[in-house]
Amino acid sequence: MSRTTRIERYRNIGIMAHIDAGKTTLTERILFFTGRIRAMGEVHAGSTEMDWMVQEKQRGITITSAATTAFWKPMRGPFVGTAHRINILDTPGHVDFTIEVERSLRVLDGAVAVFDASQGVEPQSETVWHQANRHGVPRIAFLNKMDKVGADFAMSVHSIRQRLDANPVPVQLPIGAGPEFSGVVDLLRMKAFHFDEASGEPSEREFPEALRAEAEALRLRLIEACAEVDGTVLRKYVEGRLADITEEELERALRAGTLQRQLVPVLCGAAFKKKGVQMLLDAVVNYLPAPSDLPAVEGVTPDTEVQVTRSANEEEPVCAFVFKLMHDKAVGSIVFLRVYSGTLRTGMAVLNPRQQRRERVGRLMFMHANKREEVDEVHAGDICAALNLRGVRTGDTLCALEAPVVLESLRFPEPVIQLAIEARSRGEQQKMEDGLVRLAAEDPSLRVVVDPETGQQLLSGMGELHLEIVVDRLRTEYGVEARVGQPKVAYRESLRQKVRQDYRHVRQTGGPGQYAHVVMEVGPAPRGSGLVFVDDTHNGVIPKEFIPAIEKGVEGAMQRGVLAGYPVVDVEVRLVDGSTHVRDSTPQAFTLAGSLAFQEAARRAGVRLLEPVMDVEVTTPEEFLGEVLGDLSARRGRVRGMEGHGTVRSVSAQVPMASLFGYVTSLRGRTQGRAMATLKLATYEPVPDTLQESVLEAQQ
Ligand SMILES: Nc1nc2c(ncn2[C@@H]2O[C@H](COP(=O)(O)OP(=O)(O)OP(=O)(O)O)[C@@H](O)[C@H]2O)c(=O)[nH]1
């Protein structure tokens, strides 16, 4: 079966937004209008198609980004009447699930940024927006909830410009706002459309003269933005021939400007009322890129690390990226793939260079929320799922055997909190371990290690909600009722100063002996550098084959921690001297020597704890501002900024994670549920010495 839709007619998009801006509702409406589902699910009733995991239904928030496919024929614009395949990745808005956003942004080609038109840009939208900038994702903006009291189109556009430092270009102007919201003016065509109350269907109506001046002004702004990217529009604009500028020219310029990320077309509507959704679909096709519009992806060859590219073409050797794993009771492990080049067929052998494994491609399918459509092959541009790829991990590349390539992996966020859990019985122990292995494979922002002292499993993750959901999934999906400790801060350890360490590991108790001797300088390295290991030995005092063994030993010791079992970070180790024994020196002996030498050095250098410090953004009604500020300072918080419009204030502060447990709940309590907060990792800072003592005592 060859491909059914040409690659130029693909749009791989994500829908990104602040919690509650209406992503899930919008996605449901898109699926409705594109004919994939008949009855629209309502988020409240817990019956939507995309939010299908049990926890999602209970919590009404989107945890997993599900992928789904829809077909759309634009009603206007350059592609009018041609069927386009839109692959949609739903992305959660909660900051605890940033890995989900990150992996979606990694594989999608364009995005719709949804905002609540009564709020404008909210803190979480800023985070996601910057993530999208980092990935170079072209965007269009949808100002949702225009029907809500307080909806303000101009304020929202302004906040996109101010807070996101973007270039928003309205292509529509709403007719009415709040309960009076009834339609839009299309600024390219200068025509007015009315949305049917029941069906949301747009139909042309008489131009509202009261909006004429505002519409003209916005159209001029649109033309100016287009003139910056398109020569023809520029010429006509400069010559004052505004009336000669055609709809086609504006469409072309808007598309080019969006693809080059010079501008962001802005549309509006009310997803809940089905208003504006079809026009948004037109804009997705008209302004967002097809895979073939984008530069070829870059990767490196596995051994020689030579740069190579793969373009969105099915004749090229196959290359696909694993962006997500999911475990399914019925079919086992589901691997989500974005195919960048070539064709992947059932039964074909492919290479996974990072794991140095060959894999045979099993069943292939397209996903629609939790339903599946099996296919024999998938092509460049597709987003699909594959079964029975056993050795695969998130961030891996799958490629043709004869043309190996590794694409850049995903960035995994740092965990900030830790939770000890324990099975209630021996019988459950194994079940719990299996469950955790699977959950950690699905979610690379979850780390699981065994505490060597207590034998408990230690989970670390992005926040309280994140770990709460993991424990919940253990119960519902794996039937394990675990005993759960209090959440704790995921500290790190770092060295205070540089020391020289001479370490000789000698063992001669019958049988073959062990001998390894290393001399190294061990000290702190700049933030974020992990382990910098330098071999500075001369004249082969330590043969080259033992060097990686020493590094491995150091790495292991860093992972285990020296002071209180937290990983040691940012270390420079300079191996300067050493010696070997003809018979008794082995890689194992050198690994041990590396590990013990590091531990000894770290103890002498002194270790201090680093604590995660979070960026906290609180949005609160003005009347609670004093209360919120007082509470933040009691939590060792530093307020960094305050702004606000109307009676709402937003405060940004940095607060140590250690004093943030239960913050969101307590904030709600203090403000009658009216203030909201988002937390994300800002940095790691040394714990004050006086506090370090008490943290360590509490550990005992
Ligand atoms: N007034 C109004 N409410 C809307 C509109 N769209 C969505 N909502 C409501 O806003 C709330 C949040 O909608 P969701 O679709 O769950 O938002 P979300 O962004 O997907 O939320 P998360 O999945 O938790 O990130 C729900 O109560 C919706 O009914 C709209 O156009 N107008």
Span 544-596, pLDDT tens digits? 989 999 999 999 999 888 988 888 999 999 999 999 988 888 999 999 999 99
Residue pair 557/493 in contact by the 8 Å Cβ criterion:
no
Query: What DSSP character marks residue 560?
Result: H
Tell how far the Cα of 157 is from the centroid of ligand 1, in angstroms: 20
Q: Look at residue 1 and tell me whether its pLDDT is greater than 70.
A: no
What is the pLDDT at residue 246?
95
Q: Is 147 annotated as a binding residue?
A: yes
CA distance 556 to 571: 13
Tell how far the Cα of 94 is from the centroid of ligand 1, in angstroms: 13
Q: Is 25 annotated as a binding residue?
A: no
- Per-residue pLDDT band for 60 (boundaries 50, 70, 90) equals very low
Tell how far the Cα of 22 is from the centroid of ligand 1, in angstroms: 3
CA distance 448 to 457: 7
Tell how far the Cα of 138 is from the centroid of ligand 1, in angstroms: 23
- Per-residue pLDDT band for 64 (boundaries 50, 70, 90) equals very low
Q: 191-195, 372-376, 645-649 — which is least confidently predicted?
A: 645-649
Q: Is 258 annotated as a binding residue?
A: no
What is the pLDDT at residue 205?
94
Ligand 1 contact via 40 beta carbon (within 6 Å): no
- Mind listing the pLDDT tens digit for each residue in 654-692? 999 999 988 888 888 888 878 878 788 888 999 988 888
What integer best gives the mean pLDDT of the chain?
88
Q: Report percent pLDDT > 70 for the chain.
A: 92
Helices 464-478 and 426-442 cross at an angle (nearest 10°) of: 120
What is the pLDDT at residue 356?
84
Question: How many other C-beta atoms are found inside a 10 Å radius of the C-beta of residue 446?
Answer: 21
Ligand 1 contact via 19 beta carbon (within 6 Å): yes
- Ligand 1 atom 14, closest CA: 22
Q: What is the mean pLDDT of residues 468-483?
A: 88
Strand partners, 428: none
Angle at 277 between CA 275 and CA 281, to 5 degrees: 160
CA distance 171 to 159: 17
| DSSP alpha helix (H) spans, 518-565 | 547-560
Complex ipTM value = 0.96
Q: What is the amino acid identity at position 544?
A: K
Decide the pairing of beta strands 139-144 and 264-268. Answer: parallel
271 CA closest ligand 1 atom index: 31
Query: What DSSP character marks residue 120?
Result: B
Q: Is 87 annotated as a binding residue?
A: no
- Mind listing the pLDDT tens digit for each residue in 203-249? 999 999 999 999 999 999 999 999 999 999 999 999 999 999 999 99
What is the pLDDT at residue 599?
96
Q: What are the tokens at 444?
A: 């690379």
Helices 212-227 and 247-259 cross at an angle (nearest 10°) of: 60
148 CA closest ligand 1 atom index: 1
Q: What is the mean pLDDT of residues 252-268?
A: 97
What is the pLDDT at residue 531?
93
DSSP track, 364-414: EEEEETTEEEEESEEETT-EEEEE--TT--TT-EEEETTS--EE--PPPPP
Ligand 1 contact via 17 beta carbon (within 6 Å): yes
- Mind listing the pLDDT tens digit for each residue in 314-337? 889 999 999 988 877 777 778 889
What is the pLDDT at residue 41?
45
Q: 175-189, 191-205, 629-643, 660-674 — which is least confidently predicted?
A: 660-674
- Ligand 1 atom 4, closest CA: 272
CA distance 36 to 39: 10
Write a three-state SS string for 625-685.
HHHHHHHHHHCCCEEEEEEEECCEEEEEEEEEHHHCCCHHHHHHHHCCCCCEEEEEEEEEE
44 CA closest ligand 1 atom index: 27
Q: What is the mean pLDDT of residues 600-619?
A: 92
What is the pLDDT at residue 477?
84
- Per-residue pLDDT band for 63 (boundaries 50, 70, 90) equals very low
pTM of the model: 0.76
Q: Whose CA is closest to 140, among 109, 163, 118? A: 109
- Pocket probe for ligand 1: among 43, 57, 128, the residue whose CB has the most ligand atoms within 8 Å is 43
- Per-residue pLDDT band for 410 (boundaries 50, 70, 90) equals confident
61 CA closest ligand 1 atom index: 24
Ligand 1 contact via 110 beta carbon (within 6 Å): no
Tell how far the Cα of 427 is from the centroid of ligand 1, in angstroms: 43
Tell how far the Cα of 19 is from the centroid of ligand 1, in angstroms: 8
Q: Look at residue 140 and tell me whether its pLDDT is greater than 90.
A: yes
- Per-residue pLDDT band for 427 (boundaries 50, 70, 90) equals confident
SS3 content of the chain, % helix, strand, coil (to 5): 30, 30, 35
Ligand 1 contact via 200 beta carbon (within 6 Å): no
Q: What is the mean pLDDT of residues 65-81?
A: 82
